[in-house]
Copies of this chain bind each other. A is one copy, B any other.
Amino acid sequence: MTSLTPRLQRLRDAGYRITHARAAVLKALEQAGGHLTSAQIVDAVAVIDPAVGRASVFRTLDLLSRLSLIRPTYTEGSGAPVFVLLPGGHHHHIICTHCGRVFEFENCGLDELSARLEANSGVHIAGHLLEFYGTCADCTASSAASSREARA
């Protein structure tokens, strides 16, 4: 009974219990390869385990976000956020502003810049946020034909 998925393992390692609600949310996301809105997740969870309530789905999404297991991002049309599964580790993102897909990379090489800025500005720097945004290959391909002018 030790065959916990890596993500569930991380949940436990962080000191949280492994519950039906949490397992269901994670399963829903993993089945879909991440990239679902909260509404889609609620639906998927309802299928996986009808006993799980909406509130718990949101509580879980919040928890998973705090643990950096998933990440909410905005795509086009500032409606609802899309939750993306993160592979894990510490890293930065490249976000496709069309489909919301998230790519990751390590090695931002900002330590040096950080040190320099700290010296120049007098600000004691505690962290940073770095995100690149653009259009991924798939979206570039699929929108090339019709996006002559994308009249919203």
B129, A134: Cβ atoms under 8 Å?
no
CB distance from A74 to the nearest CB of B (A): 4
Considering only CB atoms, which chain B residue lies closest to A83 in the complex?
A: B78
**Contact between chains at A126 and B121 (CB < 8 Å):** no
Indicate if A109 sits at the interface (CB-CB under 8 A): yes
Chain multiplicity (copies): 2
Given the known inter-chain contacts A72-B74, A73-B74, A117-B105, please indicate yes or no for A135 contacting B126, CB distance below 8 A. Answer: yes
Contacts of A96 on B, CB cut-off 8 Å?
A: 123
18 example contacts (A-B, Cβ-Cβ < 8 A) are as follows A65-B77, A66-B76, A68-B133, A71-B74, A81-B81, A94-B121, A103-B123, A108-B113, A117-B132, A118-B134, A122-B137, A123-B137, A124-B135, A125-B133, A127-B132, A127-B134, A128-B130, A128-B131
Beyond A96-B123, A121-B136, A129-B129, 7 additional contacts (C-beta under 8 Å) are A65-B76, A73-B74, A74-B74, A97-B126, A114-B132, A123-B134, A129-B131
